[in-house]
C-alpha cells in the first residue's frame, strides 16, 4: 500500500458531450482514468458540474484501489462553458465546497490544448470539436481568447454549428429556396426518413438520437470529398475561420508569428480530412509565416494532467518526454480498466 500521505492530483477535461478525469501521482503516474457525459456548467449549472467532477474523483479513487490512498493536493479543472470570470468563480466556489484542502485551478478547456501542445514560449491553441475556440499566450503570460457563447459572441464553427449549417442547406435544397446539394439526400438517409423535412421534425420533437447535430458534420466532410459545391463552401469557410481566430488572438496577445506555436486540437482538426487540412495549413503559412503548426497527437486530458504537475512554474512549456510519459500512463490506465471489465 502507498504512503497515506502521498500527494495526489486530479486532472479534469470537461466537455459539452463527454468528460474525463485522471488521478495522478506527483511523478506523473496515472492511477486511474474515468469518463462520463457532458459536464459543462452552461448546460447543467455549476453545482451539478461540481457534483460530476466529485463523482469522477470518487470513481477514480475507487478504480485506483490501495494505490489511490492519499491527500488530494491539486485539482485542475479545464471545463467547456467556463468563459466569463463569474462563471469561473461560480464553478470554483462549488468545487471548493467539495475539495476543501486542494489547490484548485479552474479554466476553460482550451487551456488543456495549450498545456498539451505548446513547446515554445508563445503561441496559440485552436480547438474545433463540438464547438470552436482559440487562446493565444505570449512569452510573458499575456493571453487573449474569445467568449465561446455561440453566434451572439461572434462564434461560428465546430460540429454543432456545422450540423446546423448542413440542415439549413439540406432544407433549402429540398424546398427550392437554395442550391441543390447531396446533403439533402445524406441528411434524410442519416435520419432514416423520406425527406429532410421529416428529419428536421425528428430533431424538433426530441426524437432524434443524442448528438445528431454533431454527427452531421461527418456528412459535410464526406460531401466535400465528393466535390459537392455547397459542402466545399462550408469547409472553405471553416478553414478560414480557424486561421482568422488564431491570427486575431495572437495579434491581441502581441504574439509574433516567428518562433511561435500553433496547436490544433479537436475532432475536426485531427480527423485527417485532407482538403480541409491543406486549406488550414496553407492559410497559416500565408497569415502566420514562421509559426510552427502542429496537430495535437494526444488527448486533451494530457494538458490538464501536465497543468497539475507543472502549475508552479506558471504556464505551459512541458518537454516532449514528459508529455509522452503522461500520455502513455493514461493509455496504460485505459488498458487496466478494460482488463477489469467482465467479458
pLDDT at 342: 47
3-state SS track over 48-93: HHHHHHHHHHHHHHHHHHHHHCCEEEEEEEEECCCCCHHHHHHHHH
Does the reported pTM lie above 0.85? yes
By the 8 A CB rule, do 183 and 217 touch? no
Q: How many CB atoms lie within 10 A of CB 153?
A: 10
If you average pLDDT over every residue of the chain, what do you get?
92
Contacts of 276 (CB under 8 A, 6+ apart): 221, 224, 235, 238, 239, 268
Q: Could you read off the pLDDT of 181-229 as tens digits, one per residue?
A: 999 999 999 999 999 999 999 999 989 876 899 999 999 999 999 999 9
Domains plus CATH for the chain? 7-109+300-340 (3.30.420.40), 113-160+213-297 (3.30.420.40)
Examine the pLDDT at 159 and tell me if it is beyond 70: yes
Per-residue confidence band for 340, with pLDDT thresholds at 50, 70 and 90:
low
Q: Answer whether residue 49 shows pLDDT above 90.
A: yes
pLDDT band of 1, cuts 50, 70, 90: very low
Q: Strand 18-25's sheet: what is its strand order?
A: 30-37, 18-25, 7-14, 71-79, 103-108
CA 259 to chain centroid, in Å, comes to: 25
Amino acid at each position: 500500500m502507498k504512503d497515506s500521505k502521498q500527494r495526489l492530483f486530479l486532472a479534469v477535461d470537461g466537455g459539452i458531450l463527454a468528460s474525463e478525469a485522471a488521478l495522478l501521482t506527483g511523478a506523473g503516474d496515472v492511477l486511474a482514468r474515468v469518463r462520463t457525459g457532458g459536464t459543462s456548467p452552461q448546460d447543467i449549472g455549476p453545482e451539478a458540474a461540481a457534483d460530476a467532477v466529485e463523482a469522477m474523483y470518487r470513481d477514480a479513487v475507487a478504480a485506483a484501489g490501495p494505490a489511490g490512498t492519499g491527500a488530494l493536493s491539486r485539482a485542475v479543472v479545464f471545463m467547456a462553458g467556463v468563459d466569463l470570470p463569474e462563471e469561473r468563480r461560480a464553478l470554483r466556489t462549488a468545487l471548493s465546497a467539495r475539495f476543501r484542502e486542494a489547490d484548485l485551478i479552474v479554466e476553460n478547456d482550451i487551456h488543456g490544448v495549450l498545456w498539451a501542445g505548446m513547446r515554445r514560449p508563445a503561441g496559440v491553441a485552436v480547438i474545433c470539436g463540438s464547438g470552436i475556440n482559440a487562446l493565444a499566450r505570449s512569452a510573458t503570460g499575456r493571453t487573449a481568447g474569445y467568449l465561446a457563447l455561440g453566434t451572439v459572441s461572434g462564434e461560428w464553427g465546430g460540429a454543432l454549428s456545422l450540423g446546423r449549417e448542413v440542415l439549413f442547406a439540406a432544407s433549402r435544397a429540398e424546398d427550392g429556396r437554395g442550391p441543390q446539394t447531396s446533403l439533402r439526400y445524406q441528411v434524410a438517409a442519416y435520419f432514416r426518413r423520406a425527406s429532410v423535412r421529416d428529419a428536421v421534425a425528428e430533431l424538433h420533437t426530441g426524437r432524434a438520437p443524442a448528438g445528431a447535430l454533431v454527427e452531421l458534420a461527418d456528412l459535410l466532410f464526406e460531401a466535400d470529398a465528393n466535390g459537392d459545391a455547397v459542402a466545399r463552401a462550408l469547409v472553405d469557410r471553416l478553414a478560414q475561420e480557424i486561421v482568422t481566430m488564431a491570427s486575431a488572438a495572437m495579434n491581441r496577445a502581441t504574439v509574433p508569428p516567428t518562433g511561435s506555436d500553433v496547436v490544433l486540437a479537436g475532432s475536426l482538426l485531427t480527423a485527417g480530412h485532407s482538403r480541409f487540412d491543406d486549406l488550414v495549413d496553407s492559410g497559416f503559412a500565408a497569415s502566420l509565416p514562421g509559426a510552427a503548426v502542429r496537430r495535437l497527437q494526444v488527448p486533451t486530458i494530457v494538458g490538464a494532467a501536465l497543468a497539475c504537475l507543472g502549475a508552479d512554474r506558471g504556464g505551459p512549456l512541458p518537454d516532449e518526454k514528459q508529455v509522452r510519459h503522461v500520455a502513455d500512463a493514461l493509455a496504460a490506465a485505459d488498458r487496466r480498466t478494460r482488463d477489469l471489465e467482465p467479458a
